[in-house]
Structure 1
């Protein structure tokens, strides 16, 4: 019988957490949203607030960060590894404040802002120890998982240096399976947006969809 099964791209513990967490998010925030793959850079915060049902007038957005040290390291041909926080969330005098690294661009910017807005949505609703990974999973529920999955791991290398960048709390296999569950719940057997995923998340998505169809 093993010949007719398709292995899940994540382990049993991760599979259980993803499935149960997505079910909770569905109960808390309604039906999973259609996946978005294109977002203009001119008003990322405003557009994401709209997509995630956050009133922009109720939050404060701060920018921080300086890329000068990384630039010096790259100029010297050194490896640059970044696991530092690309964003922060806090409450100040009862008002949500999201702080975003000003050096972020494109996919990483969208993923970071979506994650921090996820904190706004979860604040007061959930206080479990897994709030950070759940906030990443929330971006999948609101249709922004392609950005989060593509931003979670990035590796580049040339003759002088290499750069490894990680973002968020979920792995590529976890994003792949979460997106598979998302598509499955929406009745998308072959989601058109899968082509916008990077190679690894796309492969895990396909494995996840095969697993869900056969089990």
Structure 2
């Protein structure tokens, strides 16, 4: 297979060719596994009071409030899930401009959450890093990613873990806005500034994945309403990807 679309010189693809082919083939596989009609008809959840009409207090309680919502969206029985929490300290680096804190230690993959493929007392164990509780959108993204592991490994669709494919699962289950927005964020306060990187796809890859998703749902809708909930950098990458995809002939 060589992806969904034939190459064209009309617009430049915003992601490397090898990544484009992989992502389009991955989407085709996901469609076969999770059914195109269900992907098209499924509601897209947005960071809004309409979709999440709850009061959050940045505590573990938030995760328990969100658990049944994400479980229903991703078609997993919430009673099968056991939540746990852990603390992973921020890494600190010095610079001439002050302290920089990164949630990704050099040489290590930062973990916003973990999923245990072995069931504990008949339940899947999802562990949430404490820092995720401070940002509801990131917490939703973490839960969605860990639930995606259940859809792939827990439901025995794949044998070996694939984090990039796991990220894509959140898109087809209507939670891609959260994971894309959380993929790379700067933060600042009175004492420091830094960034938080979450997930495995790059910003450009998230934009491309969301564009594929949008075209799958409606090939005539180039600017779906839900893109207004994307952060500016992801929205820009989405538009670049949509331009490339609409300038190329689909071979589905």
TM-score after normalising by structure 2: 0.76
CA distance in 2, matches of 1:12, 1:208: 13
| Structure 1: segments with no counterpart, 5+ residues | none
Q: 1:4 to 1:70 in 2, by over 3 A?
A: closer
Within the alignment, does 1:12 sit opposite 2:9 as a pair?
no
In the alignment, which residue of structure 2 is the partner of 1:127?
159
In the alignment, which residue of structure 2 is the partner of 1:153?
184
What is the Cα deviation at residue 159 of structure 1? Answer: 6.7
In the alignment, which residue of structure 2 is the partner of 1:58?
80
Q: After TM superposition, where is structure 1 displaced by more than 4 Å over at least 4 residues in a row?
A: 69-73
Within the alignment, does 1:191 sit opposite 2:224 as a pair?
yes
Within the alignment, does 1:96 sit opposite 2:124 as a pair?
yes
In the alignment, which residue of structure 1 is the partner of 2:148?
118
Equivalent residue pairs, number: 208
Q: Deviations over 1:62-120 (max 9, x none)?
A: 12226xx55999xxx52110122110011235632111123312111010000000011
Q: Which has the higher helix share?
A: 1
TM-score after normalising by structure 1: 0.88
CA distance in 2, matches of 1:180, 1:51: 20
What is the Cα deviation at residue 168 of structure 1? Answer: 0.7
Give 1:37's match in structure 2, choosing from 46, 52, 71: 46
| Structure 2: segments with no counterpart, 5+ residues | 1-7, 57-61, 105-109
CA distance in 1, matches of 2:26, 2:33: 10
> Secondary structure at 1:164's aligned position in 2?
strand
